[in-house]
Amino acid sequence: MKKSPSPLLAFLLNPANVEDLDEEGWSLLLAEARVCGVMSRLASLLMTSDAKFLVSPRKVSPLVAIQIARHMQVALMQADSLTHAVQQELTFLDGALADLGTPVLLLKGAAYAAAGLPAARGRIFSDIDLLVMRSFIPHAEAALMLGGWAVAKQDAYDQRYYREWAHEIPPMTHLQRGTTVDLHHSLAMPTGRVHIASDLMVAEAVALPGSGHWYRLKDEDMVLHAASHLLLNSEFDRGLRDLWDIDLLVRHFAASEPDFVHRVLVRAEQVGLGQIVRNAFSLCHAAFCTPLPPEALAGKGLVLCLLKSAATTRHPETRPRTQGVADQILFLREMALRLPMHLLVQHLWHKTTVGLSRKKEVPV
């Protein structure tokens, strides 16, 4: 079956492209946005808070336009509700960790929201990512437990995976509110083959004004962390959203700092992410026409080709035919990058003999 052109990708290249969509095109656009987890962000760019279109759907009937507007309004309400919930949860977390005696970093979506960055607008996420120095992990975990968060019951292997090899402890969920916290001690797996100077990036974190005890990565490092999180993992269900984050971060910081992209490239070499960020920038340039100089882009290569197939639309009608194969290869790549051979063999053995028999997902 012939694949349909993607109205979502067309919109990302030029928002005015939606003006030429008919009813079928609008239906596909909304379906793609939902599948990719960007419905609320799309709505924030297409509609005002009082239900007026910023880009007119001129090729659909008035009745269909009203239906489209309703979908957009629901998405905007969901984003507003999440923003309020995140702010409330950060207040609870701030109270629980107030006596920790060390900076606590917010990462990814929580950091974007607390810093008021454009990347937070319409961004839907399910957990809050925190980071403290490894020596403070026991104290932070204890403080969160006293505040009502708890680690779900896990077998001995899963506990060892998180406690000895991973860059975070097992997720902690609040017993009453059901909110989840991922508590990190590094920005990347300590066992990984891509060696990132996480300690250097954490050491240069900046305080978030007026937000309690919270810190965030400095501007360049926010971009680098977003790039490494996307490209060193194999979960691309939200890959387009995460790639969009990078585009928005670059545009925002570069607007007031003309040399920002150059500083990101210099910083990337310092912390071991030179090739990673160039691959991410190439993907951004292709998907969003992100204003980037040629020296910021990676050359052609198999990994970049696979990433282009994975970090894009996931809708069955519009996704690349090679996406399934790309996903599988990138999954194997992630495992090979995260764990040395002896741990990788042990991990795969566990997944095969225990994880599959229990039909339970084991963290990779």
d(CA 238, CA 241): 5
- The amino acid sitting at 169 is I
Residue 157: its pLDDT value, please? Answer: 78
Residue 351: its pLDDT value, please? Answer: 67
Contact 326, 309 (CB under 8 A): yes
Domain 7-358: CATH class, spelled out: alpha beta
Residue 329 has pLDDT above 80, yes or no: yes
Residue 358: its pLDDT value, please? Answer: 55
Scan for tokens 């990512």, then name that residue. Answer: 129
The band of 355, judged by pLDDT with boundaries at 50, 70 and 90, is low
Q: Between the CA of residue 271 and those of 121, 134, 165, 347, what are the distances in Å?
A: 29, 19, 20, 28
Which residues share a beta bridge with 183? Answer: 130
The band of 364, judged by pLDDT with boundaries at 50, 70 and 90, is very low
Residue 49: its pLDDT value, please? Answer: 67
> What does DSSP assign to residue 150?
E
Angle between the 239-256 and 274-288 helix axes, to the nearest 10 degrees?
Answer: 100
Residue 346 has pLDDT above 80, yes or no: no
What percent of the chain is predicted at pLDDT more than 70? 94
- Which range, of 30-39, 40-49, 124-133, 319-328, averages the lowest pLDDT? 40-49
pTM comes to 0.92
What percent of the chain is predicted at pLDDT more than 90? 71
| Each residue's pLDDT tens digit, 76-115 | 999 999 999 999 999 999 999 999 989 999 999 999 999 9
Residue 272 has pLDDT above 70, yes or no: yes
Residue 2: its pLDDT value, please? Answer: 60
Q: Between the CA of residue 19 and those of 41, 66, 119, what are the distances in Å?
A: 18, 15, 24
Between 47 and 132, the more confident residue is 132
d(CA 268, CA 278): 9
d(CA 1, CA 4): 9
| Each residue's pLDDT tens digit, 135-193 | 999 999 999 999 999 998 777 877 888 888 889 999 999 999 999 999 999 999 888 88
Mean pLDDT score, 329-336: 91
Strands (E), 148-260: 149-151, 172-174, 180-184, 206-207, 214-216
One-character DSSP codes across 213-243: TEEE--HHHHHHHHHHHHHT----TTHHHHH
Average pLDDT for the chain: 90
Residue 344: its pLDDT value, please? Answer: 74
- Which tokens in the block code for residue 267? 């910083």
Give residues with Cβ within 8 angstroms of 246, minimum separation 6: 223, 226, 227, 230, 280, 281, 284, 290
| Each residue's pLDDT tens digit, 29-71 | 999 999 999 999 999 999 876 767 877 778 888 898 889 999 9
The band of 362, judged by pLDDT with boundaries at 50, 70 and 90, is very low
d(CA 274, CA 266): 8
The band of 4, judged by pLDDT with boundaries at 50, 70 and 90, is confident
Which residues share a beta bridge with 129? Answer: 107, 182
